[in-house]
Amino acid sequence: MGFLNAIEGMVNPETGTNAKVAGGLLQALDEHPGGLGGLIGHLQNNGMGDHVQQWSTGQQTTATPDQIQQGLGNTGLIDTVAAKAGVSPQTAKMAMAVILPMVIAHFTQGGQQTPPPQGGLGSMASQILGRLL
């Protein structure tokens, strides 16, 4: 199953919250210092290195919303994602606990970042949102 299909599979038929947060995350990463690499660095430096390593090899180790909050620290990324997705920060954290493992697995190979699609992560977000909403 491809990345876009996996994101589609997360959609709640009533609200599509996870899809909205996935789109918000990818948009926010375009603006985040260091992009995906910066996000991975924050997670690794804040106690989630094992998670990142497992996600980058395709293992779907779960994370809790509190672990996501701890891993992102004071980056403001959760609030940015929430604003872009039109959801509360708490909802964004809960969805990001599901979405981040897939995003990191998709854009890394054995812990090394792969190039984003042409047009950047925001372009992929537009594709996702266009297919889901």
pTM of the model: 0.72
Q: Can you tell me the mean pLDDT for 112-130? A: 49
DSSP conformation letters of 39-74: HHHHHIIIIIHHHHHHHHTT------HHHHHHHHTT
Residue 97's CB is within 10 A of a number of other CB atoms, namely 17
Q: Is residue 12 pLDDT above 50, yes or no?
A: no
Q: Two tokens at 39?
A: 């996000």
pLDDT band at 109; cut points 50, 70, 90: low
List Cα–Cα distances, 96 to 20, 119, 132, in angstroms: 11, 23, 17
- Beta-carbon contacts of residue 101 (< 8 Å; ≥ 6 apart): 51, 55, 60, 61, 62, 63
The pLDDT, as a whole number, for residue 105 is 84
pLDDT band at 97; cut points 50, 70, 90: very high
